Amino acid sequence: YTASFTLLLDLGMTGLTHTINVARGLLFLHTAYSSNGCRVYDLTTNPMNPKYLFNTSGSGRDCHDSGVIENVNGRDLWVVSDGGGRRQRIWDITNVGASWPTGALPPLVGQTNQISGIYAHSNWVSDDKRYLFSWDENNVIDISVHDITNPAAPIEINLFQYSENSQYNAIPHNGEVRAKYLYVAYYEAGLRVFDISN
């Protein structure tokens, strides 16, 4: 059996795409390793011809990955892992949609502290929307944890590296939280599961 596919859309963004995610009728295109930032499109009006809304380009905003947290005290927040910017940025996208003015940035709510030497690769928020877990791809730390109870002022509460054996270079890629467990995929150490109940 040979599968066949028909190309339905080509936005011509060669060299500007690393990963994507979709939430709230929006497409978040992550450019990674450049100053082009994230590019955000509306999918609700015409998903086959997404409307360009804005990008987060600028120094230290290479947008490696992102995630959306809906209904945080009535706001929808977008958390961007800004790679070489060495931090996570939190944007309020509550009002972003088809009628959003092209090129206008949503409000930047807050950002984590910069951590020297890391590459802010990806992030995930705990089920209770209190903790932001972030992964470093430069093997300086494995994971940083910030309390984002107040998204305008994230508080670093923990940095940890779990390489098990200094002979091996573990390097985490990404992870997810399910209840009291943090599941982390490592490039060279496989899957690790941490109990984060305390």
Strand bridging mode 26-30 / 143-147:
unpaired
Q: Which residue has the higher pLDDT, 5 or 187?
A: 187
What share of the chain in percent tops pLDDT 90?
Answer: 65
Q: Nearest to residue 175, comparing CAs of 112, 120, 123? A: 123
Tokens of 31: 């450019």
CA distance 70 to 131: 14
Give tens-digit pLDDT for 29-71. Answer: 998 777 788 999 999 999 988 999 999 988 888 889 999 999 9
Q: Which residue has the higher pLDDT, 3 or 185?
A: 185
Q: What is this structure's pTM?
A: 0.91
CA distance 89 to 83: 11
Q: Which helix (H) or strand (E) holds 193?
A: strand 190-195
- pLDDT for res 5: 78
